[in-house]
Structure 1
Amino acid sequence: MIFRIIRFFAKGLLAFLLLMLLYFVGAIIGSVIPVNLAQPENGEISIYLRSNGAHTDFIFPIENEVVNWNKLISAEHILSKRGNFNYISFGWGDLEFYQKTPEWDDVAFPTAMQAVFLPTPSAMHVEFESGIRMHQPTIPINITRQQYLKLSEYVYQSFEKNPAGDIKPVKALHYNKNDAFFHANRALNLFYTCNTWVNNGLKYADMKACLWTPFDTGIFYQYQ
């Protein structure tokens, strides 16, 4: 009996390891296959992609002739209540993961596993910024007005709205005095991660992207 149990768990572990191997092989293949390689050469709006080593954010100008984010996301949601910012960043992820891991050094295995394998609520992390912080890997990208409009539309559609059409802040959750969290659509899983969300936004805006990637390295590989 004991040997049957051991064989059962051994087979289960082997199957899990095989699935993980296939997952990582698929991620590598999907990351190196590019989409939307032909890009306009007259991009007039500069945006940025920033990674903390695992998670990718979009960084947009706070206001230009295409989109005024001040009218869509009020600085009243941040602790400083300031309004004189030049940029705004957006990240998407699992709400409980955001709540329990303000720094990646705080990542706990149960929290990570729950975020990946259970359909839990998601959130948008929004930070108002005076300038571009270059202490983390950051890529500038020049895009057209039409691409920026589509990318902004994609990001704004990711916010969960109340019946009146307003975005819904997550109460009492901040990493610093200039950021805020908002309830978001969809749930994170093994195949749709925070980086998949960014990559899908790039594809939606007809920008260079991976075929599919769950990791930040795939996105940055396409913009080397």
Structure 2
Amino acid sequence: MRKFLKYTGYTLLSLILLLLLYLGSAWVLSHLTVKAEANTAYQVPIYVKTSAVHTDLILPVKTELKDWSQSILYTNTRTGDTAFNFIAFGWGDKGFYLETPTWSDLKASTAFKAAFWLSSSAVHTNYLRKVKESKTCVKVELSNEQYQRLITFIQKSLQTTVTGQPIAISSAKSYGDHDAFYEATGKYSLFHTCNTWANNALKSCGQKACWWTPFSNGIEYQYEK
């Protein structure tokens, strides 16, 4: 019994130390800034929207570079409404997205699979008529070249058919009337979360970002500065 208690104590202590190391690393690296590129042309507005746990990137539906409605089809939403100016993209764990509409629905098995690379991922899209700037919804201006890089990053995050169309998850229950889910590339984990994806997206198009962050407050911190 004494040996059992001893090893149990060591195990618990090790887990606590690992958790503290993870949280400490997240805090430090999310407060270190990847500086934005010098931008001589402000041509495409996007928005960085954070919540307590998640980050979305909001893009114009149509520009001269990309019409998202041609691949993220209105017909995949509940109403099929086409009167929108913006589209929000978020990447995350498929189990969280599809099986956890509220925190009260969260299962230990879903959280475990998400944390340790055992689940697949999905992209959540949501069409919006307008965007309201706030502390948690910050406007960022990109050049056309920077926006093209962001388009490429998002497209590479989506699984596609042989014809290049994103694969809608037809079995997914939408959150509202104007959103849909799509099969995604990559694995969610403690080290690559929805916020890590958004942070990497910002890096891809030369915008201010954290060195690394698993949490939304890291991105929010960078855009409060």
Q: CA deviation at 1:80?
A: 0.5
* Residues 1:120 and 2:123 aligned together: no
What is the CA RMSD across the aligned residues, in angstroms?
1.7
* Residues 1:61 and 2:57 aligned together: no
List per-residue Cα deviations over 1:51-100 (Å, max 9, x = no partner).
22110001000001121111222111111111121000000001111112
SS of aligned partner of 1:180 = strand
* Residues 1:143 and 2:142 aligned together: yes
Mapped contact 1:202–1:209 kept (Cα < 8 A):
yes
- Within a 5 Å distance, the mapping from 1:52-201 to structure 2 comes to 52-104=51-103, 106-132=105-131, 137-173=136-172, 174-201=174-201
* Inter-CA distance 41–218: structure 2 relative to 1 (3 Å threshold): farther
**Distance in 1 between the 2:43 and 2:116 partners?**
41
**Distance in 1 between the 2:86 and 2:40 partners?**
23
**Distance in 1 between the 2:184 and 2:35 partners?**
27
SS of aligned partner of 1:223 = helix
List per-residue Cα deviations over 1:142-197 (Å, max 9, x = no partner).
12111111111101110011233221111132111111000000110010000000
TM-score by length of structure 1 reads 0.93
Unmatched segments (≥5 aa) in structure 2: none
TM-score by length of structure 2 reads 0.93
Moved over 6 A (4+): none
* Inter-CA distance 134–112: structure 2 relative to 1 (3 Å threshold): farther
Aligned residues: 223
Unmatched segments (≥5 aa) in structure 1: none
* Residues 1:207 and 2:207 aligned together: yes
Letter in 2 for 1:210: C
